[in-house]
Amino acid sequence: MSTILVADDEKSMVEMLEIMLQREGYEVITAHSTDEAIEKIGKHELDLVISDMKIPKEGGGAVLRASLQRERTRPVIMITAYASAESAVEAMKMGAYDYITKPFDVEKLKLTVKNALEKRGLVLENLNLKKELREKSGIKEMLGNSAALAVVKDLISRVAETNSTVLITGESGTGKELVAKAIHAFSQRSGKPFLSINCGAMPEQLLESEMFGHKKGAFTGAANDKMGLLEVASEGTFFLDEVGEMPLSLQVKLVRAIQEREIRRVGDVKDIKLDVRFIAATNKNLTETVKNGSFREDLFYRLNVVQIELPPLRERKEDIPILARTFLEKFNAQNSRNIQSFSKEAMKMLEDYHWPGNVRELENAIERAVVLEAGQWISPESMPESLRFPSAEALAVSVPTGGIDMELHIGEIEKQMILSALKMAGGSKKEAARLLNMNLRSLRYKLSKYDIK
Ligand SMILES: Nc1ncnc2c1ncn2[C@@H]1O[C@H](COP(=O)(O)OP(=O)(O)OP(=O)(O)O)[C@@H](O)[C@H]1O
Ligand SMILES: [Mg+2]
């Protein structure tokens, strides 16, 4: 049964619509102001929203926006006064599915509602099919709820439907390959191959013949004709990993492939038509490599049609808990372990660390912890050394531009460390001294020096 929200401040109108729609077999929820409507949009699973354009306080536009924000594909029908064609046009521009004018023709209203729900059914079915396909193809979900990652996910879904070349940039281990696979999986090409090549991993000649293929006898060792990966990827997606490492001579061939959509096997004289979507990734700053001459500017512009930048994990720390928990589940299963969760201190360590190797490093750290941990909870002791003993760099110790009074600064750091050790030790000086790897006498001396009681 479909559920419909009817929002209008005019009580008789709401009642009339409610009775009529219920008679058609729909479940009806009502609201009499924008606040109430928005609250109910957040609370209920709705299939359709019908709202008056002039509903107080903020008007039907606010209801429309709230509904679209929550679910982009849910239809919203606006009710407008007969005289006001303008506001109807505006509602349509804002993304309303349709509008009906007051006083309305009951039959026409029923039909509009029926069509809107039918269309929604089709959209949902289509989304479900796509989701099923993705799950079958084993595509991993991009985990994380940070705003930064939401921007990335939004870009993925928008760019997937197009054929645009995409350049994915970001530090090592941020998920560039995962993004490339997601774009393919969400695209019309998802039933076709996704192939990739690491442009920095093999010698130039081999890379060339792998990508473009070769004719028999094109070079010593070319005993047969060979199809290149670009041809094999026909109608699918081709992922150029570490594209910044590609040798200059091959860059010329790649520009031609992208621009003319034609390739030629090594040693061949005829061209082959190419239908692939290119996605490239790099952890280098390509603008720099263009400046120093190791990357062609024309190739850079061809690749950089849409750029997706993956932020480092340290800039989206709110993603760490969900990633850590998911990895914990994964490695629990792989190692037949049943570790419940992370101790508070261990989780804090994960959140405080600067993760130069990003998500991959986090994944490795959790795998190691699962293997080493003897208890029910992951404790700080099973964390890698890099987390337990952060380097000076990780502690962000650097001289500010204006200079610094080093002695004073180090004194302050020393004082804070002692306080923190005392706290961890529950006030025990002996234990604090142990944590700080100093003897009790030195600790006592420092305590009096810094006037710590
Ligand atoms: N948001 C995420 N959710 C779940 N897993 C992730 C996420 N981001 C990255 N990963 C995982 O982290 C690992 C590294 O990701 P990936 O190989 O895509 O990174 P990369 O940017 O290509 O790294 P490199 O530059 O080193 O090649 C993979 O196992 C990937 O599945
Ligand atoms: Mg990679």
> Distance from the CA of 359 to the center of ligand 1, in angstroms?
6
Asked, for residue 393, whether it belongs to a domain, the answer is no
Ligand 1 atom nearest the C-alpha of 170 is 21
Q: What pLDDT, on a 0 to 100 scale, did the predictor assign at position 312?
A: 95
Residues 181 and 288 in one domain: yes
Closest-lying ligand to the alpha carbon of 144? 1
- Give every CB contact of residue 290 below 8 A, 6+ residues apart in sequence: 296, 297, 300
Residues 358 and 239 in one domain: no
Q: What pLDDT, on a 0 to 100 scale, did the predictor assign at position 123?
A: 80
> Distance from the CA of 393 to the center of ligand 1, in angstroms?
24
Ligand 1 atom nearest the C-alpha of 176 is 21
Q: Say if residue 429's pLDDT is above 90.
A: yes
Asked, for residue 142, whether it belongs to a domain, the answer is no
Asked, for residue 251, whether it belongs to a domain, the answer is yes
Asked, for residue 14, whether it belongs to a domain, the answer is yes
> Distance from the CA of 191 to the center of ligand 1, in angstroms?
23
How confident is residue 392, by pLDDT bands cut at 50, 70 and 90?
low
How confident is residue 141, by pLDDT bands cut at 50, 70 and 90?
confident
- Which residue lies with its CA nearest to atom 25 of ligand 1? 172
What pLDDT digit, counting tens, does each position of 338-350 carry?
999 999 999 999 9
Q: Say if residue 1's pLDDT is above 90.
A: no
Give the β-pairing of 213-214 and 226-227: antiparallel
Residues 180 and 95 in one domain: no
Q: Say if residue 303's pLDDT is above 80.
A: yes
Q: Say if residue 137's pLDDT is above 60.
A: no
CB atoms within 10 A of CB 447: 16
Q: What pLDDT, on a 0 to 100 scale, did the predictor assign at position 39?
A: 93
Q: Say if residue 138's pLDDT is above 60.
A: no
Average per-residue pLDDT for the chain: 90
Q: How many domains does the chain have?
A: 4
Closest-lying ligand to the alpha carbon of 168? 1
Asked, for residue 224, whether it belongs to a domain, the answer is yes
Rounded CA-CA distance 286/269 in Å is 33
What pLDDT digit, counting tens, does each position of 75-120 carry?
999 998 766 777 788 888 888 999 888 888 889 899 999 999 998 8
The answer to whether 72 and 101 have CB atoms below 8 angstroms apart is no
Asked, for residue 398, whether it belongs to a domain, the answer is no
What pLDDT digit, counting tens, does each position of 2-57 carry?
999 999 999 999 999 999 999 999 999 999 999 999 999 988 989 999 999 989 98
Residues 170 and 306 in one domain: yes
What number is the average pLDDT over the span 300-329?
94
Residues 212 and 263 in one domain: yes
Domain boundary among 294, 310, 326: 310
Q: What pLDDT, on a 0 to 100 scale, did the predictor assign at position 122?
A: 83
Residues 251 and 361 in one domain: no
Residue 76 backbone dihedrals phi, psi, to 5 degrees = -125, 125
> Distance from the CA of 70 to the center of ligand 2, in angstroms?
33
**For residue 434, what is the domain's CATH number?**
1.10.10.60
Asked, for residue 45, whether it belongs to a domain, the answer is yes
**For residue 11, what is the domain's CATH number?**
3.40.50.2300
Residue 120 backbone dihedrals phi, psi, to 5 degrees = -60, -40
> Distance from the CA of 38 to the center of ligand 1, in angstroms?
37
% of the chain beyond a pLDDT of 90: 65
Residues 153 and 302 in one domain: yes
CA distances in angstroms from 42 to 50, 122, 234, 340, listed in the order given = 15, 23, 44, 32
Domain boundary among 84, 100, 128: 128
Ligand 1 atom nearest the C-alpha of 283 is 25
Q: What pLDDT, on a 0 to 100 scale, did the predictor assign at position 171?
A: 94
Closest-lying ligand to the alpha carbon of 283? 1
Residues 32 and 90 in one domain: yes
**For residue 236, what is the domain's CATH number?**
3.40.50.300
Q: What pLDDT, on a 0 to 100 scale, did the predictor assign at position 130?
A: 65
Residues 303 and 336 in one domain: no
Ligand 1 atom nearest the C-alpha of 310 is 21
> Distance from the CA of 175 to the center of ligand 2, in angstroms?
7
The answer to whether 67 and 42 have CB atoms below 8 angstroms apart is no
How confident is residue 69, by pLDDT bands cut at 50, 70 and 90?
confident
By C-alpha distance, which of 133, 132, 96, 131 is closest to 116? 96
Higher local confidence (pLDDT), 402 or 320: 320
Residues 26 and 160 in one domain: no
% of the chain beyond a pLDDT of 70: 94
Q: Say if residue 393's pLDDT is above 60.
A: no
Tell me which residue has tokens 């990993």. 241
Closest-lying ligand to the alpha carbon of 330? 1
Domain boundary among 271, 287, 310: 310
Closest-lying ligand to the alpha carbon of 173? 1
For ligand 1, pick from 153, 283, 360 the residue to mutate: most ligand atoms within 8 Å of CB.
Answer: 360
- Which residues lie with the beta carbon below 6 Å from any ligand 1 atom? 140, 142-144, 170, 172-178, 283, 323, 359-360, 363
By C-alpha distance, which of 76, 109, 79 is closest to 94? 76
Q: What pLDDT, on a 0 to 100 scale, did the predictor assign at position 131?
A: 66
Q: What residue ranges in 22-93 does DSSP mark as E strands? A: 27-31, 48-52, 76-81
Structural domain for 330, as ranges? 314-388
Residues 172 and 270 in one domain: yes
Residues 54 and 112 in one domain: yes
What number is the average pLDDT over the span 320-336?
93
> Distance from the CA of 235 to the center of ligand 2, in angstroms?
23
- Which residue lies with its CA nearest to atom 18 of ligand 1? 175
Q: Is the pTM of this model over 0.95?
A: no
**For residue 369, what is the domain's CATH number?**
1.10.8.60
- Among 61-65, 282-286, 411-415, the range scoring the smallest mean pLDDT is 411-415
Ligand 1 atom nearest the C-alpha of 281 is 22
- Which residue lies with its CA nearest to atom 15 of ligand 1? 175
Asked, for residue 136, whether it belongs to a domain, the answer is no
What pLDDT digit, counting tens, does each position of 171-227 carry?
999 999 999 999 998 898 988 899 999 998 889 999 999 999 999 988 888 888 989
